[in-house]
Amino acid sequence: DAGVTQSPTHLIKTRGQQVTLRCSPISGHKSVSWYQQVLGQGPQFIFQYYEKEERGRGNFPDRFSARQFPNYSSELNVNALLLGDSALYLCASSLESPPDTQYFGPGTRLTVL
Amino acid sequence: AQSVTQLDSQVPVFEEAPVELRCNYSSSVSVYLFWYVQYPNQGLQLLLKYLSGSTLVKGINGFEAEFNKSQTSFHLRKPSVHISDTAEYFCAVSSTSGTYKYIFGTGTRLKVLA
């Protein structure tokens, strides 16, 4: 079975631009969570969605938004990019709302110049 | 609110030697505990998790961890490491209710030496 997939793999943007990252969960998984991992640090929670509803939001500015589609895939949008948004963005899916095991995708590496 | 502390940023160890990676957490509510491993340029893979029951948890690749509620610790151990265990290891906690978001530690880089 396919694992969690994320696209694109790498992305380079300039300050002020907007970016959309995509995530496809494991088939049958209804929950998707997004994390930001800055180099040298642990992942930080951004959002959790379950059955297309937002279940949790981390301590991130309103420039960050997300949504989950009827097929349970998800998008993370970041507006007005800052240099500090450069990071690995990880998507995780689980069958039900956590603490069911979260399975992580390979991530999208975002570089903001 | 919860927090996780991984005091050791790097742990060098010789091949076939035992290793312990330390994790301490802080929380005012009951928690679930996890260990994940991250290989270079890859996502995170679950090693093991503690939800309830036996405090000694066995995971994949020969790893195990022990939940100690009085010391608020969840240390990861392996009796004999291999070169292939070289990776970054993250401890994480989540509350047993509410958002269930994972709070990760800063990670421990395990380097296995030949």
Instruction: Give per-residue pLDDT as tens, B56-76.
Output: 999 999 999 999 999 999 999
B65-77: b (≥16 Cβ within 10 Å) or e: bebeeeebbbbbe
**Cβ of B99 and A104 within 8 Å?**
no
Chain A residues within an 8 Å CB radius of B107: 41-42
Amino acid at B109: R
CA dist B20 and A14 (Å) reads 42
- pLDDT tens by residue, A27-52: 999 999 999 999 888 999 999 999 89
Is the separation of the CB atoms in A92 and A101 below 8 Å? no
Nearest 5°: phi and psi at B19? -145, 145
Q: How far is B75 from chain A (nearest CA, A)?
A: 17
Chain B residues within an 8 Å CB radius of A55: 99-100
Chain A residues within an 8 Å CB radius of B105: 42
Give Cβ neighbours of residue A10 (< 8 Å, ≥ 6 apart).
A108, A109, A111
Task: Compute how many other C-beta atoms are within 10 angstroms of the C-beta atom of residue A11.
Answer: 15
Q: How far is A15 from chain B (nearest CA, A)?
A: 24
Tokens (6 digits) for B83: 């070169």
